[in-house]
Chain A
Amino acid sequence: MSLLQAQQLKVSYGGINAVKSVDFHISKGELVALIGANGAGKTSTLKALCGMIKAKGNIFYGGADITNQPSCKLVNLGIVLVPEGRGIFSRLSIEENLHMGAYSRHKRREIRADFIKMYDLFPRLAKRRKQLAGTLSGGEQQMLAIARALMSRPRLLLLDEPSMGLAPLMVNKIFTTIKAVSAEGVTILLVEQNAKLALEISHRGYVMESGTIMLSDSAQNLLNSTQVKQAYLGE
């Protein structure tokens, strides 16, 4: 059963058509990778899904049409984005950032339990919980952005280049986390420049090129496809 279904989704900025009528779907519990070159329209697609920009076409989520709903409403449905460039609140403490992640939730005991979970997952955040988020290193900020998104107990997690600017060890750590979150049953759409890593942990993948979806297949088949190898894996 599809949790998310996009039909003829279009995004344009003034005259520029960034996303030109794409169709895709994500089933419940799936981890799907969306890869493509710079400027292909990946970020625009994610922004349309979470209500950050106006889009044309239709987006169905759990059967309901959610096209162009404001992002503050979509959070309550469980759709959460970890934006490109992290978007943490630099003048709020780490703890406050996590609280903001849980803004749409109200059960204090569950929230407290999730705090402990996040600090277990990212011990570096625990040590710095009172520190302003703006003083964290880039990798730590990325951890915070992911932890903050998880604090909302997402049903559909949209990740926009979570490995950007991170050292290899940190990239591994982030990808292990994504895999673990997926294993817990959270549906994930993962946008990545690091196509190989992304496809290795994903079930399926879409390849985007100048605003359209060029290829769609199982992650394994994409990893083996000569087209993908040449264009995105540098082999």
Chain B
Amino acid sequence: MDIFLQQIINGLVLGSIYALVALGYSMVYGILGLINFAHGEVVMIGAMIALAMLQALASSSMPIAVIILLSLLVAALVCMALGYAMEKVCYRPLRNAPRLAPLITAIGLSIVLQNIAMIAWGRQFVAFPLQIHATQHAIAGASISDLQILIILVATASAVALLLLVHKTRLGRAMRATAQDHRIAGLMGVNVNTIISVAFVLGSALAAAAGIMIAAYYGLAHYSMGALLGLKAFTAAVLGGIGNLGGAVVGGLLLGLIESLGAGYIGALTGGFLGSHYQDIFAFFVLILVLIFRPSGLLGERVAERA
């Protein structure tokens, strides 16, 4: 088996999930200057709701495709409502507060959501209820499964849809204008509160998609899964240049590749001292390096601004 190619495939799959979550971080940061540390928990809630729906519907007589679609839809809607409520109830009252206040709120919110999920779904891992017959396809000495292909396709389609929305539509233009200056955007007739809500709702929809994909990929979900995933996606957003949506995609994919290649070779590199279960250290290594050497990220602001 070709380890290099295999790790590239695995990295792209993982990376496209990171990218979806990173898009949510970056979009909210771009518009509000807020790092929504509870975003990872939205991913977890998406996965949990989807699993609960699948479980509830598994014994029904509906065709399997309908069950899956219905579960995805409900999970996405719940997450969108959660994102909307989060902003409206927790962040909006702090809009003009010092920046530390919403940041601490975000951390608190993330703890609250984790605990709610723990009470609702327990401390143990929740198994993905569907047996996914993932056919493996061999390519050039490596293999890729149907599920992996599906994840990459769905993630690509979602990311492209978001980028098109932001860069090609009237709403997207208003979002970019608001990201630059709330007051001037308001002067143009943009309802800034609506735009901020839209950012949260869209980011949460992507988070739901990511949550379902990662649960299907590993066959598991856990009430605390959002914490690490959220932190990694945040790293991806910072790596790409937080606030920059293209950067979030690039950062996500890069981080997936770094992690997966790192995990593939770490044993050989350290003479067997560290195993592939040290995969998680790469994300934080990357985060530290980026913060030290290029805090604006790979695609961070390059445009000179004139007074």
Q: Say yes or no: B303 contacts A90, CB within 8 Å.
A: yes
A22 interfacial contact with B, CB 8 Å? no
Q: Which of A188-219 contact B (CB under 8 A)?
A: none
Tell whether A83 pairs with B176 under 8 Å between CB atoms, given A132-B303, A134-B303: no
B144 interfacial contact with A, CB 8 Å? no
For A152, what are the chain B residues with a Cβ–Cβ distance below 8 Å?
A: 188-189
CA distance A210 to B177 in the complex (A): 34
A135 interfacial contact with B, CB 8 Å? yes
| Total number of A residues with any Cβ neighbor in B under 8 Å | 31
User: Quick check: which of A1-9, A25-33, A74-82, A116-124 contacts chain B, the rest being far away?
Assistant: A74-82
Q: Say yes or no: B186 contacts A91, CB within 8 Å.
A: no
Which of B180, B186, B190, B306 makes the CB contact (< 8 A) with A141?
B306
Q: Say yes or no: A92 contacts B187, CB within 8 Å.
A: no
Q: Say yes or no: B188 contacts A101, CB within 8 Å.
A: yes
CA distance A14 to B174 in the complex (A): 31
Interface of B is mostly: helix
CA distance A195 to B106 in the complex (A): 51
Tell whether A92 pairs with B189 under 8 Å between CB atoms, given A134-B304, A134-B305, A135-B304: no
B184 interfacial contact with A, CB 8 Å? yes
For B306, what are the chain A residues with a Cβ–Cβ distance below 8 Å?
A: 90, 134-136, 138, 141
Which of A87, A103, A148 makes the CB contact (< 8 A) with B174?
A103
Q: Say yes or no: B305 contacts A75, CB within 8 Å.
A: no
Q: Say yes or no: A100 contacts B304, CB within 8 Å.
A: no
For B177, what are the chain A residues with a Cβ–Cβ distance below 8 Å?
A: 89, 92, 96, 100
Residue of A nearest to B180 (CB): A89
Residue of A nearest to B304 (CB): A134
A81 smallest CB distance to B (angstroms): 6
Which of A71, A85, A90, A136 makes the CB contact (< 8 A) with B187?
A71
A104 interfacial contact with B, CB 8 Å? yes
Query: Across chains A and B, which 6 residue pairs bring their CB atoms closest together, nearest first?
Result: A104-B189, A75-B189, A87-B184, A71-B186, A103-B188, A100-B188
Show 10 residue pairs from A and B whose CB-CB distance is below 8 angstroms, ordered by the A residue: A51-B186, A72-B186, A75-B187, A83-B187, A87-B183, A90-B305, A92-B176, A100-B188, A101-B188, A148-B188
- B interface, CB within 8 angstroms of A: 170, 173-174, 176-177, 180-181, 183-192, 303-307
